[in-house]
């Protein structure tokens, strides 16, 4: 496995690669969710490139950039075991050299949900992902449904700017108790960690009422909030019921697929999760198909 930290080195190695390339962009502190993306990329491509870069421009001033978990040696071990061909670990100075001034701003799909709570976040994400696409030239790039809006933003960007690649969005990998795996879960105390399974329970409760025919977004939101209320450590940041294609918030019943997404705060940690309804859409290709295009 090649580990490369310079743009020049990456370009040289990339040029020598023939056959199809699958890309998995990450911020490191890897877990089974990342490895599932790598496996999918391996199954569908001749070569797999993983990038590890904690992108400063997607963090706001008050966010956790400086304490974001980092463990490159462990990450590299995991990627070696998973059979990755090339890992790119650039520094921030290389990605954003002095004088940098070009940004990618995706509009509507980036504006609701996390876009409201984290101004500038998706501008940072879209810009770095566009750079990583240009640098690694993949045939297909793999993202997780866990960050559904991020995946939708990237798909929109690929479509609008004619990037010559496909996007695949893979299902959320969960811990045994249903908590979505996240590098940020290490911030949780033992007690918060135990309580965090309530998030998945609340989404399952939404699925149950949806299956019984409930389509009113307000009623579905109330079901979720009622479950979350049972856990005093869980502070609800937001619960959104949105159209799964446009990600626009719904205020009337819809028979189209919906994306139920939420952020729950445990202490200072924001835990993000979601579920597509009907529930069978949360399969290997569900969100990729639902969003269409790109």
Q: Which of 10, 23, 27, 228 binds ligand AMP (CB under 6 A)?
A: 27
Least distance between ligand AMP and beta carbon 214 (Å): 27
CA dist., res. 143 & res. 147, Å (int):
8
Does the protein bind ligand AMP through residue 172 (CB under 6 A)? yes
Q: Of the ranges 15-23, 25-33, 73-81, 91-99, which one interacts with ligand AMP (CB under 6 A)?
A: 25-33
**Pairing of β 258-266 and β 234-243:** antiparallel
Q: Is residue 52 within 8 Å of residue 29, measured between CB atoms?
A: no
Does the protein bind ligand AMP through residue 33 (CB under 6 A)? yes
CA dist., res. 122 & res. 104, Å (int):
9
Does the protein bind ligand AMP through residue 179 (CB under 6 A)? no
CA dist., res. 216 & res. 250, Å (int):
9
CA dist., res. 129 & res. 111, Å (int):
18
Structure letter (DSSP) for residue 75: H
**Cβ closer to ligand AMP: 37 or 135?**
37
Does the protein bind ligand AMP through residue 131 (CB under 6 A)? no
CA dist., res. 155 & res. 108, Å (int):
13
Does the protein bind ligand AMP through residue 290 (CB under 6 A)? no
Q: Closest Cα partner for 47 from 82, 86, 77?
A: 86
Does the protein bind ligand AMP through residue 200 (CB under 6 A)? no
Q: Of the ranges 116-124, 181-189, 238-246, 252-260, which one interacts with ligand AMP (CB under 6 A)?
A: 181-189
47 included as an active-site residue: no
**Annotated catalytic sites, by residue?**
34
Q: Please give the residue ranges that form the binding site for ligand AMP (CB under 6 A).
A: 26-27, 33-34, 36-37, 143-144, 146-147, 170, 172-173, 180-183
């Amino acid at each position: 496995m090649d580990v490369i930290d310079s743009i020049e080195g990456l370009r040289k190695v990339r040029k020598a690669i023939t056959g199809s390339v699958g890309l998995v962009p990450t911020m490191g502190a890897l877990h089974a969710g990342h490895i599932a993306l790598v496996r999918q990329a391996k199954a569908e491509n001749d070569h797999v490139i993983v990038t590890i870069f904690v992108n400063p421009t997607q963090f706001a001033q008050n966010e956790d950039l400086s304490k974001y978990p980092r463990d490159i040696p462990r990450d590299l071990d995991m990627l070696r075991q998973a059979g990755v061909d090339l890992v790119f670990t650039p520094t921030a100075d290389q990605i954003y050299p002095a004088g940098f001034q070009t940004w990618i701003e995706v509009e509507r799909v980036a504006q609701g949900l996390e876009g409201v709570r984290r101004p500038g976040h998706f501008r940072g994400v879209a810009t770095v992902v566009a750079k990583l696409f240009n640098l690694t030239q993949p045939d297909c790039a793999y993202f997780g449904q866990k960050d559904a809006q991020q995946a939708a933003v990237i798909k929109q960007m690929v479509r609008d700017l004619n990037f010559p690649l496909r996007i695949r969005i893979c299902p959320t990998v969960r811990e045994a108790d249903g908590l979505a795996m996240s590098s940020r879960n290490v911030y949780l105390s033992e007690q918060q960690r135990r309580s965090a399974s309530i998030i998945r329970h609340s989404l399952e409760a939404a699925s149950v009422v949806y299956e019984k025919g409930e389509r009113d977004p307000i009623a579905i939101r109330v079901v979720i909030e009622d479950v979350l209320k049972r856990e005093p450590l869980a502070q609800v940041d937001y619960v959104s019921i949105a159209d799964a294609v446009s990600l626009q918030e719904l205020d009337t019943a819809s028979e189209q697929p919906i994306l139920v997404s939420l952020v729950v705060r445990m202490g200072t940690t924001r835990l993000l999760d979601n579920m597509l309804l009907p529930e069978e859409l949360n399969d290997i290709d569900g969100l990729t198909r639902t969003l269409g295009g790109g």
